[in-house]
Structure 1
Amino acid sequence: MAILRNIIRTGTQNVDEIAKHAIIAVNRFSLVSLILTSCFGIVFYLLTGELQILAAGLTEAALLAGVLWLNSRHKHLWASYAYICIINGSLVYFSGILAAIIEVHLAFLLMFGASLLFFQKDKHRMISIGITALTLLLCEYNYSYPFINPILKTDYEQMLLRWLARPGIILLDSLVLWYYKKTNEALYSSLMKRSEELEAANTSKNFFIRVTNHELKGPLNAIHEISQTLLLNDEVDESPSLKPLAEDLYTASTTAMQEVTNVLDMSQIEAGKINQVDNSSINIRQFLMNLCKVHQYTANRKKVSIVTEFHDQLPLTIISDKAKLTKVMSNLLVNAVKFTAPKSRVTLKAYVKDGLLYMAVKDRGKGIERERLHTIFDPFETEQNNLMEGSGLGLFITRHFIELLGGEITVNSDPKEGTVFTLHMPLIAGQEEPKVTQPAIAPADYSGKKVLICEDDEISQVYLAKFLERAGCATLLADNGANAINLAEQEMPDLMILDSHMPVMSGRETITHIRNHPHLAHLPIIVISGDAYSGESEELLTAGASEYLLKPVNFRTLSDVMRKYLTSPVNNKRLPPAQAIR
């Protein structure tokens, strides 16, 4: 057996798996054909004394041994063609000397199957099949117009040949079928193994992204809070040297959170978890103007102004998915500000045409190369500028979200005029909302109001407390849920700000305990979290949370939410606009 195994594997050293499979197939078919041909010639000679068949059988066996030699010399392509030519030649010869006594055409199944097994390239397969088809035509021609004379005379010799030849032909045909079955099973097994490996890798990747996202959002949230605290500081506001640094810190923290969120969005899109559309009524003009205010802080670094143009036909409110539309327009504004020329402007235009809502964002940059326009929406496609470099995921996510909303996005670019991204989507007008006069922002006056901050990140805890103390609140600090409950029982705060991920007692457990507490059940709880897609918001709101905010915590957003639960408004002086970033 070891000798046969070595013969079958001859010539397979230092070749890839696909080539090795083909070489072994050639060797195995050559060895089986060699044995069958030799046995056929010898047995038939012993029974009939026909020397011509013995000579033909041994000659074919010697030629087939040459196929094995070619493979041992690493002449694999020549070996494959040699086998095809030898077997086809023997079919022509034996079909001639044996006339129509045996069904030679049964052997053509072997040849067509071998052509597909032995060659990887379609060109060689077609040549091999062509040789086999030519052989079939020659056999049919010889049957009608004999050019090779038959040698068998008696009925006994014909019957003997028929029963000797048929098993050999059937065996070779069966070998082809067995090989295909074995190959398919091996491919299926390999496919399933690879699929399991990819599934495991994808699960690990998503877990890593989610954990990394959570771990990054903690320090990034702290940096974001520090930047907002600096912007609120009177000394910083009046200092020509410190104010730009504070604005740059705010812009950098915003950009970092945008990139972290983009990576998380990408993983969720790949997992098919962002396919649901949650429609609500949106005041489209106010919505777009607020977004522009958010990104104006970044634009200030380049002395760029963001302007809006709204056509008269634009309805006051529309029905759409606010979160996804926020991500779409934020990504477009980020790109426009990033690539527009310094001291220029970015234009956001919204209008109605043919029953569709159009929104276009135009910059005054150097444009995008024509050959890159068709790949600009592919993942990880990015360009560098002198300010920052992104992950290349923003436009891919933008297109995905727009398509979920039933729309499309296009891009046009001119080196002289810049780039404009235009999206259009079905226009569903919402109900007109009554105009409400916004009250003037009064000075901070939360004297006597106690706010319990439950946050395990010490830096976030400190700067959140600074903001609240600036608004006149008395702050109580706890670094886990259990301590927060004990402190709440002692101090009876007016409001609680709770991080969802806490040691000792989770955010959900803390909320449940408070809602079941006879003296704390009505305590307003504002949850802050870094999980955008885990379904945590619905879970915690169902458990009893009053509000759910995502990190980074924007002080203006927090101020707006606190106003609902505390009687006096928070001083919004110079607060950055509410974040449009999850």
Structure 2
Amino acid sequence: MSYSLNSIRYIGTHGTSDSLKKVIVTVNTISLITGLLAFCIGPFLSIYTGNLAILWGAYCEVLLFTTVIALNYLKKYGIATIATHIFQNASVLYFGLLFGAHVDVKLMIVFLGIIPLLIFKDKPVILTSLLITALTLFILEYNYQYHLFPSMTMSLEHERFTRWLSLVVILFLVVTVVWITEQDKKKANQALQKANAMLEHLTEKLQESVNAKAAYVREITHEIRGPFNAIFSIAQLLLNSTSKSSTLKEVKGDIETLNAGCYQTLSIINSALDVSKLETSIFPVEISSINLRSWIQEIVSIFSYIASHKQVTLHLKVGVIPSIVEGDSEKLTRIANNLIYNAIKFTRKGSTVTISIDSTNSKWTISIADQGPGMSQIELDDAFKIYRSSSKDSSTGAGLGLYFVKNTIDLLKGEISVFSLKGRGTNFTASFPLAIGKLEASNPSTEVPSDEINMGGKEILIIDDDVMQTTYISKYLQSIGASVRIAETAREGFKMLKEQTADLILLDNTLPDMSGLEVLEELGRNPFYVLIPTVLVTADNAVTREESLNAGAYDYLLKPIIFKDLKKLLSFNQIASYRQ
């Protein structure tokens, strides 16, 4: 029986929203309780008092509230809700006029005042419903004063019993409806708490999945970097040697292609690592002074290899810019690299990619314009989404570059815009807040080295267990006159320093026995080693530039080591000034 009655409360709720379902259940509950009370008490009072008007009124009330439930069954929710309030007022008005002063039916006005708050949401509708209730109360009070409609007659005993019974029924009706409504609200809150708990659990699982993916990407890229570092070092050695060997001059084009491919591969590896760091929020901003002109010239110089391979001309336009700005040099370089690389990749063979850098009073901008096929509106809408790349070119990559660019620019509080015309090309413009910086007297990152460098008589100690990398880095260092020793562990490195000091140390961050920071700490405690310039070398930004400099490093390099970056650190004047 309870199951059947409870199922009546949910008639018409299938396929409805939670908010509508709540109203339907409330309307059905009020109609069901009111109808059952009328069905049970109406005949009893009619027989007890001997008045058939009570019976006919009760049965009409049962019919009316059954109609309300039927309207909900027929999906006529609005009509059913309005009918509920009108029928309740009509019932109170009928029995109020019938009983007159014998029963204080006006107590039902409290119940009638609650109903609009339970079933209506719009304030105008609620106010209208309350006015209808007030009108009902006014008619009953007016009739009580002036006896427009004669009430039924009953004995004093019947009047007392009926008065008490009506009081109990009214209180029962109010308490029952409120209690059922509160129970439904409690169930809804429990369901919400359960949903929130499930959402938190899914969020944790998702974060675990993101972290696991990031760890997997780091592991895979770390494994790739080992052999790739050696390949890249060999390519750079060959390119540096082309001017000295007639045999290599004959294959200079192939060597430049190999270098271009290495830069392209390095860009893909770095993008994968950077995206994983963005997703795990391990991507701190490190502000330093940047010589804008030197910075952009060096980037363009590096990409000349890739551009020449495709017979593309890189045209650099430098507007009015400050000499030094404050910014995250590494992240800005990654942004420029991605945008320039994409421009070279998509521009037509034999065309020009224009790189413009300029500034205003509040910001500085870099624009990269190609002369490629342009982008459709759909491609523009998807440009900065992860894992989205042009469907027209199978070589477009994994769709990570522009996603990284957009999120990194946001991280640096900058903006990026894109303008494209089909068949005419695409222009990406990135802008950043302008913060004028000061030139750091001995900051290798802001100085451009000369093409030739001689390290004759200089002792360089490499502490790194990556045999393939150290083999070819040592060959490069030896080719410019340096004497090189290699230690595969920190312990072996300290032993070599005891035997003979060094003019420069290239220190890997991940050694078998100690971390790079721990080695820097040990070097800093020894008065004989503290003045040796030590460059921390890391494969995946596990240690930031700021951390390495704070720990006592002279500078900071990323693997694979690009010889142009290394050349900055090998200037004798810089090293000498550091040691003084």
> After alignment, is 252-261 or 210-219 more displaced?
210-219
Give unpaired runs (5+ residues) of structure 2.
Answer: 98-104
1:307 positional shift: 0.8
The Cα of 1:363 is off from its aligned counterpart by: 0.9
CA distance in 2, matches of 1:438, 1:172: 82
Aligned CA distance change for structure 1 residues 76 and 215 (closer, same or farther; 3 Å)? farther
CA deviation after TM superposition for structure 1 residue 286, in Å: 1.7
Aligned equivalents of 2:90, 2:66: Cα separation in 1: 20
Task: Report what 1:93 is aligned to.
Answer: 91
Query: Which one-letter code corresponds to 2:293 in the other structure?
Result: R
In the alignment, which of 485, 497, 506 is matched to residue 497 of structure 1? 506
TM-score scaled by length of structure 1: 0.75
Write out per-residue CA displacement over residues 234-269 of structure 1, whole angstroms, 9 at most, x where no aligned residue.
45553167425513431332221342244135325x
Distance 1:528 1:307 in 2: 33
Please name the residue that 2:461 is paired with.
451
Counterpart in the other structure of 2:42: 41
Instruction: Please point out which of 324, 344, 359 is paired with 1:317.
Output: 324
Q: How many residues align?
A: 548
Indicate the SS of the match to 1:212. Answer: helix
Q: CA RMSD in A?
A: 4.8
- The CA distance in 2 between the partners of 1:564 and 1:218, in whole Å, is 34
**Counterpart pick for 1:530 among 529, 535, 539:** 539
Partner of 1:252: 264
Which structure is larger by alpha-carbon Rg, 1 or 2? 2
2:538 maps to a residue whose letter is S
The residue aligned with 1:165 is 170
Separation (CA, whole Å) in 1 of partners of 2:420 and 2:380: 8
After superposition, the Cα gap between the structure-2 partners of 1:32 and 1:444, relative to the gap in structure 1 and judged at 3 Å, is: farther
Match status 1:543 vs 2:548: no
Alignment-mate amino acid for residue 293 of structure 1? S
- 2:196 corresponds to 1:191: yes
Residues 245 and 379 (structure 1 numbering): CA distance in 2 closer, same or farther, change over 3 Å?
Answer: closer
Cα distance in 1 between the residues matched to 2:25 and 2:534? 71
Q: Which amino acid aligns with 1:451?
A: L
TM-score normalised per structure 2:
0.75
Q: Which has the higher contact order (CA 8 A, sep 6+)?
A: 1
Mark the runs of 5 or more structure 1 residues left unpaired by the alignment: 117-124, 569-582
Query: Is residue 10–residue 27 contact of structure 1 (8 Å, CA) maintained in 2?
Result: yes
Name the residue aligned to 1:369: 376
Contact preservation (8 Å) 1:44, 1:161 = no
Please say if residues 288 and 329 of structure 2, whose CA atoms lie closer than 8 Å, have aligned partners that are also in contact. yes
Paired residues of 1:306 and 1:345 also in contact (CA < 8 A): yes
Mapping of residues 111-126 of structure 1, within 5 Å? 111-114=116-119
Report the Cα offset of residue 168 of structure 1.
0.7
Change (3 A) 1:204 1:160: same
Q: Aligned AA for 2:371?
A: R
Are the aligned partners of 1:500 and 1:507 in contact in 2 as well (CA < 8 Å)? yes
CA contact (8 A) 1:110 1:172 kept: no
Cα separation, 1, equivalents of 2:3 and 2:447: 96
- Distance verdict in 2 for CA 1:378–1:150, change over 3 Å: farther
- Residues 556 and 110 of structure 1, relative CA distance in 2, 3 Å threshold: same
Distance 2:457 2:212 in 1: 44
2:101 aligned residue: none
In the TM superposition, residue 413 of structure 1 has moved relative to its aligned partner by: 1.8
Task: Give the C-alpha shift of residue 195 in structure 1.
Answer: 3.3
Distance of 2:308 and 2:95 partners within structure 1: 95
204 and 461 in structure 1: CA distance in 2 versus 1, 3 angstrom threshold: farther
Task: Kindly indicate whether residue 297 of structure 2 is the aligned counterpart of residue 292 of structure 1.
Answer: no
The answer on whether the counterparts of 1:64 and 1:83 sit within 8 Å (CA) in structure 2 is no
Q: Is the 8 A contact 2:85 2:115 kept in 1?
A: no
Tell which deviates more after alignment, 30-39 or 8-17.
8-17
Pairwise CA distance, 1:133: 7.9
The one-letter code matched in structure 1 to 2:396 is E
Q: Does 443-452 or 321-330 show the bigger shift?
A: 443-452
Instruction: Indicate whether 1:383 and 2:383 are aligned.
Output: no
- Quote the offset at 1:562 in angstroms: 3.6
CA pair 260-237 structure 1, distance change in 2 beyond 3 A = farther
CA-to-partner distance for each residue in 1:157-200, whole Å, 9 max, x for gaps? 45642442233124313432443354245424533542354145
Name the CA distance, whole Å, in 2 between partners of 1:485 and 1:204. 41
